[in-house]
Amino acid sequence: MKGSVKIVKITKKKVIYSLLVLLTSIGVIWFSYHTYEKQYYRQFSQYSGKAKIDDYEMIADGSGVIAHWKSVTPEEDQKKKEYGGSLNLKRIQVGAHHILRSNIKLKDSPYYYEERPSKDEYWTLSLYKIEGKKLKEEKEIDLYKIVEDFDSNYIPTELGAIYSSNGRELAALQIRSIKDPTIRKMMFLDLETHKLEQNDHLAEKVYEKYPLVRFNVNLDKDQSSLEYLHLSDGSFSIDPKDLSKTQFKKSSKAYRLLKQKDTKVMILNPQNSANRYSRGLSVFELFMKKSVNLYHDVTIPAELSKDGQVHTTHSKEEFDQIYDIEKVRKVYNEID
């Protein structure tokens, strides 16, 4: 019949076949994307993701802070865990007035790069300024951009500790020539201006070990060096099961923060601070029983004592009488 509509009969077998083709296509696409994701995330051997402090509590009259770091790249963190292993390089640098966290997503250690990384890679710093008993979040620092602005022929290779120099705080940063990888320079990042500068006096202290006070504290019958444990690190974590040994009440904010994952205790001190011991110990004593004397059997080297002799002290009062803080400031290059 002219103008009639032809009716096509669709059988059950055709429907099933079409569904199988569709499901197979979806499976192939999913497998391809899964393989791509796996290869993509596995190429980043250096990864920390990005994080910010979302809550904190100042402790020990401002000598320390308990801070919880929250990831701002949670989805990518999960992908990295799924395809490329655990997160790493959660390195934190601490001064009296600034806190830095390295945010890294690189295919290799920065030390081995001889050119700028690809657009998917980064090495930035989360920066916080300490103002009294408050933390102020500053603009994120792109280390590759900072170095490029200083000298386009160089790239960053290694971030060091925060140092104090005549009232300013500077983060040590080694840079390398792109043209000649054997050429390296030790520079310092001014944490106020975000500019790179040279400081030959401080550079000597980065490479040389200055004299240190030695603390020996008997903790749970295990003789340990407090200097070795934490004073050089600037930050540490507490196992929640050990919280009962601290001086924090369960109802306190500090206690609640310490129970959370990704919480760090930070001693607010530059690497070369003459006050590193008094401020460090005022933080540590909060994590120990009140009966523990952190100043028992302390050795003050001749270079740091008032009379130029080696001394062993057993109390804070005795320590303060012998430790020459002005001499230490000069020895540590806190002042020129």
pLDDT tens per residue across span 238-286: 888 888 888 999 999 999 999 999 999 999 999 999 998 999 899 988 9
The structure tokens listed for 239 are 């196992």
pTM reported for the whole predicted model? 0.85
CA–CA gap between residue 295 and residue 274 (Å, rounded): 16
Confidence label for 222 from pLDDT (cuts 50, 70 and 90): very low
The DSSP bridge partners found for residue 164 are: 169
Better pLDDT: 239 or 131: 131
> What pLDDT sits at residue 7?
53
Asked if 212 and 225 count as a contact pair (C-beta separation under 8 A), the reply is no
Written as one letter, the residue type at 102 is: S
CA–CA gap between residue 102 and residue 79 (Å, rounded): 20
Structural domain spans, the chain: 46-207, 216-264+272-331
- 8, 11, 16, 21 alpha-carbon torsion, rounded to 10°: -30
Find the radius of gyration of the CA atoms of the chain.
27
The structure tokens listed for 254 are 């500090």
The structure tokens listed for 44 are 């980043």
Compute the average pLDDT of residues 125-131: 97
**Who contacts 303 (Cβ-Cβ below 8 Å, separation ≥6)?**
211, 327, 331
Asked if 270 and 96 count as a contact pair (C-beta separation under 8 A), the reply is yes
**Who contacts 221 (Cβ-Cβ below 8 Å, separation ≥6)?**
none
